[in-house]
Amino acid sequence: MIDQVQVASGFYVYSFLRSKDRDSILAENLKGIEDADITVIERGDLAVVVSAIVPKKIRPQRKFLAAHQEIVTNLAKHWRMLPVSFGLIADDLDQVHHILDKNHDVLIEQLDRVGGNVEMTIVLKWTASNIPQYFVERYPELQVARNMLIEGRASREDQIEMGRIYESLLNSERASFT
């Protein structure tokens, strides 16, 4: 029996960036999904980082997600780029060119918009040991609602409204700290 050899037929897409960054990116010798070499396909002043891939769909397995994230993270450290969500595969070079041509102006605009910016995540952690109690002590409207609940005078609608008030106050405090 003769073994079938699979030939790459598509391109796995990692990120969009400027064409001027092509040579410095290729000099990194990055390896993408299934240890494939990455390449940069240019179309005017816009480019896309891709690697050759056989399947037309890819499952979100840990090894594939990690390879995707490694490329995107490495690119983001050194170049202005727009990452692509996991799993975008172009069927062939014509489709890659079509994506670049069709979205050229929007991608260039977004590359200019994110230039010089940094993405950050802020995590708010309450130091109160009992957060609901903290809010009840701080907000009189919650004290009234809690007292009605304790006394057995709160209807189902009153309980739902107390939950809405609490959620609104919690979100308001989060927003003020953010």
* Residues 55-88: tens digit of each pLDDT: 778 888 999 999 999 999 999 988 999 999 999 9
pLDDT value of residue 7 = 47
pTM recorded for the entire structure: 0.64
pLDDT value of residue 4 = 42
Residue 17 CA, chain-centre distance (Å), reads 17
pLDDT value of residue 8 = 55
Nearest to 104 by CA among 48, 22, 55, 54: 48
Alpha-carbon distances, residue 129 vs 92, 115, 125, 132, 165 (angstroms): 57, 41, 11, 9, 20
- Taking the C-alpha atoms of residue 79 and residue 49, their distance in angstroms, rounded to an integer, is 12
- Taking the C-alpha atoms of residue 65 and residue 59, their distance in angstroms, rounded to an integer, is 9
What is the mean pLDDT of each successive set of 10 residues along the chain, which is 178 residues long?
52 95 92 93 95 86 94 91 92 93 94 80 81 90 89 89 90 84
pLDDT value of residue 81 = 92
pLDDT value of residue 38 = 94
